Amino acid sequence: MMINQFLATGGLWLNLDDTEILIDPGPGCIVQSTKRKLRAENLSAIILSHRHLDHSADINIMVEAMTQGGFKKHGKLFAPADALETEPVIFSYLKDNLDGVEVLEEGKSYTIGDVSFTTPVRHIHPVETYGMVFKTPGYNFSLIADTLYFDGLTSYYGGELLIINVVFLEPRKPDANISLPADHLSVPDAEHLIEELKPKVAILTHFGMGMWRAKPWEIAERLTEKTGVKVIAARDGMRFELAKLDEG
């Protein structure tokens, strides 16, 4: 998906009571965000769930944009240690333009203005990966980032809104002949998570090619019927107003 760009890989842009946060700036983030008039200089932070290219490729340009080429030094970067150590995803000269870099660790909490988030558990993925639970004055919501499904996963996440990275239609077994990492959630995993966590709304995103061919919006409709939870398939440029969560 990242290579052919059938779907954009720019990440998620949060605006929480005017605290703006960018999550996982993959390839094209600078193009997608400027096209949509999202202003990087308004960002307070960039959070990286993990170092894989489809989540991190545009991190340097987005730090450059957030800090206006170094003229407006501000903002924080949050990332797992293995994205910052041996082979850092961020250039050291750009790091100097930030207010700071914070290392994501299992079970820790972080604050960005009035917003706080936790990274409750290390995911099962080839590199160090965390999902996030956000707490804002108005709403709580979770992002379940890339992971293989594991027992207990549901116990770490919650809130009125659940965003799930669903790459596969069906669970995959690791296959030595295919270099594609199998450590991703599938539609049955997502169904189970939604049923257990019962959010008001669930958004599916980060689709692989098989998911895309299967028409994610139809899958979302089926999951809505099965679970009784409103399930939405993300689209490029989609905006979701958290106030909609109050509409019952």
Binding site for Zn ion (CB under 5 A): 52, 146
Contact (Cβ atoms closer than 8 angstroms) between residue 247 and residue 40:
no
Comparison of 16 and 121: residue with beta carbon closer to Zn ion: 121
Measured distance CA(245)–CA(16) in Å, rounded: 14
Output the smallest distance, CB 243 to Zn ion, in A.
31
Contact (Cβ atoms closer than 8 angstroms) between residue 171 and residue 149:
yes
Which H or E run contains 141? strand 140-144
Output the smallest distance, CB 19 to Zn ion, in A.
26
Output the smallest distance, CB 56 to Zn ion, in A.
9
Question: Rounded to the nearest 10 degrees, how much is the dihedral formed by the CA atoms of 195, 198, 199, 200?
Answer: 110
Comparison of 89 and 245: residue with beta carbon closer to Zn ion: 89
User: Bridge partners of 13?
Assistant: 22
Comparison of 40 and 193: residue with beta carbon closer to Zn ion: 193
**What does DSSP say about strands 132-135 and 100-104: parallel, antiparallel, or unpaired?**
unpaired
Comparison of 180 and 222: residue with beta carbon closer to Zn ion: 180
User: Identity (one letter) of the amino acid at 179?
Assistant: S
Output the smallest distance, CB 175 to Zn ion, in A.
17
Output the smallest distance, CB 92 to Zn ion, in A.
24
Joined together, the tokens standing for residue 230 give 């409103």
In the complex, which residue's CB is closest to Zn ion? 52
Comparison of 52 and 76: residue with beta carbon closer to Zn ion: 52
Measured distance CA(22)–CA(32) in Å, rounded: 12
Measured distance CA(147)–CA(167) in Å, rounded: 10
Measured distance CA(191)–CA(188) in Å, rounded: 5
Q: Computed from CA positions of residues 100, 83, 12, 190, in that sequence, does the dihedral angle turn out positive or negative? A: negative
Output the smallest distance, CB 50 to Zn ion, in A.
6
Comparison of 104 and 115: residue with beta carbon closer to Zn ion: 104
